[in-house]
């Protein structure tokens, strides 16, 4: 765990049904009951209409299908959650285990509420990385999408990785320059080459993957997980049938780790994120931010003329480019009200 993670209080991220409007309450955490001392731990890798597909000990070869135990109440169970299972955990056909507990989450990726759903939802729990897949052309890259994905990653506790696809069609140079100051990995791929740098980056990690339709996600995933289609089939077959394309699914990487595709995420749940949530992902600015006037948005003049973040650049601890990048992300969050009126990203 990085020092940044230790400093932050992830427990508050545990609640999935946060209302978009203020006035939220916290639900008590589910406690394990003594009679479940024999429970086994598993990772949720699929979810389909009341059935959760779970991998015992995160082992893709030990798949068990489970339902929620009544005692879970309304605690949400999402892809990537670590759960305790009781009952029949043999994984044999037509058996069903029960989920009795959901472990605290180390990270969360949320999608924005849509018309049919008044809540922001956690769609992926415990992913260590967010792979933001963007085509260099066809469709053209949009920085707005990248920036909002970055905010969602930093605020949710995931390390961002940018994957620029279709490099046979356009140069990655200007995008690489635009994000250089943020210092996260940027990987460049093209269909006619093996994505070995991506495979290396994802090895042994749990990585959530986001990107617009048509950017080449399936092309990439099929190379990383050679039997991805079959795996998706397995996950749906052990559910109640038809695979629903709106839910996330975790696919096991051949040499360890998981990649979680998120077709349901059209835009990110940023409504609950504060400026300080974003700043906390930039360690060199955290101390100065504490000196800011209360309610500072850290955008600098004219919005926040007394913001202290500029002092970090003035004393040479950070570069102007780094502050500019941080402020661009803060601005993309601040523009949220307008962004939400736009058609889904
Ligand atoms: N030129 C070029 N085309 C690519 C590359 N990667 C994928 N494509 C093409 O782009 C189109 C979309 O690729 P997909 O992998 O289906 O994209 P996707 O992001 O999974 O899209 P959805 O399935 O709609 O979510 C296909 O016609 C691919 O053949 C690439 O590196 N270069
Ligand atoms: Zn400030």
HEC readout, 206-246:
EEEEECCCCCCHHHHHHHHCCCHHHHHHHHHHCCCCCCCCC
* pLDDT tens-place string over residues 67-83: 999 989 888 999 999 99
Q: What is the Å distance from ligand 1's center to 236 Cα?
A: 23
- 272 annotated to a ligand binding site: no
Q: What is the Å distance from ligand 2's center to 304 Cα?
A: 7
Q: What is the Å distance from ligand 2's center to 6 Cα?
A: 23
pLDDT at 105 over 70: yes
What 8-state DSSP symbol labels residue 78? -
- Nearest atom of ligand 1 to the alpha carbon of 189: 31
Q: What is the mean pLDDT of residues 301-314?
A: 95
The interface predicted TM-score of the complex, written ipTM, equals 0.97
Q: Which residues, in sequence order, are bridge partners of residue 63? A: 55
Percent of the chain with pLDDT over 70: 79
Does the pTM of the predicted model rise above 0.95?
no
* Residues within a 6 A CB radius of ligand 1: 165-166, 168-169, 190-191, 211, 213-219
pLDDT at 24 over 50: no
> Between 320-334 and 143-156, two packed helices, what is the crossing angle to 10 degrees?
90
- Which residue has the CA at smallest separation from atom 24 of ligand 1? 213
Per-residue CA distances from 40 to 2, 305, 318, 325 (Å): 28, 54, 47, 44
pLDDT at 34 over 70: no
User: Where does residue 50 rank: exposed (0-12), middle (13-18), buried (19+ CB within 10 A)?
Assistant: exposed
Ordered domains of the chain (ranges, CATH) = 3-102 (2.40.50.140), 115-261 (3.40.50.300), 275-341 (1.10.40)
Residue 32, Ramachandran bin (φ over 0: left; ψ between -120 and 50: alpha; else beta) = beta
* pLDDT tens-place string over residues 129-166: 999 999 999 999 998 899 989 999 999 999 999 999 99
CB 191 within 8 A of CB 138: no
- 240 annotated to a ligand binding site: no
Give the residue, 263 or 13, on which the prediction is more confident: 263
* pLDDT tens-place string over residues 242-270: 444 456 789 999 999 999 988 767 778 78
Mean pLDDT of all residues belonging to the chain:
83
The secondary structure element, H or E, covering residue 283 is helix 283-290
């Amino acid at each position: 765990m990085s020092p940044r993670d230790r400093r932050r209080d992830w427990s508050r991220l545990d609640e999935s049904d946060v209302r978009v409007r203020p006035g939220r309450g916290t639900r008590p955490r589910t406690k394990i009951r003594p009679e479940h001392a024999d429970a086994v731990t598993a990772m949720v890798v699929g979810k389909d209409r009341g059935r959760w597909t779970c991998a015992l000990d995160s082992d893709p070869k030990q798949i068990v299908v489970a339902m929620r135990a009544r005692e879970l109440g309304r605690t949400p169970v999402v892809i990537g959650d670590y759960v305790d299972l009781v009952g029949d955990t043999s994984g044999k056909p037509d058996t069903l285990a029960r989920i009795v507990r959901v472990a605290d989450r180390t990270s969360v990726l949320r999608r924005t509420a849509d018309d049919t759903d008044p809540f922001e939802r956690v769609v992926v729990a415990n992913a260590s990385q967010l792979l933001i897949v963007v085509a260099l052309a066809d469709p053209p890259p949009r920085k707005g999408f990248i920036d909002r994905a970055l905010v969602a990653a930093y605020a949710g506790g995931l390390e961002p990785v940018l994957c620029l696809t279709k490099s046979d069609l356009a140069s990655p140079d200007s995008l690489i320059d635009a994000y250089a100051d943020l210092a996260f990995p940027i990987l460049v791929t093209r269909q006619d080459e093996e994505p070995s740098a991506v495979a290396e980056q994802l090895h042994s990690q749990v990585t959530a993957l986001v990107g617009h339709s048509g950017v080449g996600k399936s092309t990439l995933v099929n190379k990383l997980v050679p039997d991805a289609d079959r795996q998706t089939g397995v996950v749906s077959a052990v559910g109640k049938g038809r695979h629903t394309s709106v839910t996330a699914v975790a696919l096991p990487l051949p040499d360890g780790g998981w990649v979680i595709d998120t077709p349901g995420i059209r835009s990110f749940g940023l409504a609950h994120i504060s400026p300080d949530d974003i700043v906390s992902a930039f360690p060199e600015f955290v101390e100065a931010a504490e000196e800011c006037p209360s309610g500072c948005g850290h955008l600098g003049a004219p919005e926040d003329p007394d913001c202290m973040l500029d002092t970090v650049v003035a004393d040479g601890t950070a570069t102007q480019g780094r502050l500019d990048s941080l402020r661009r992300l803060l601005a993309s969050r601040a523009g949220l009200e307008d962004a939400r009126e736009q058609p889904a990203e």
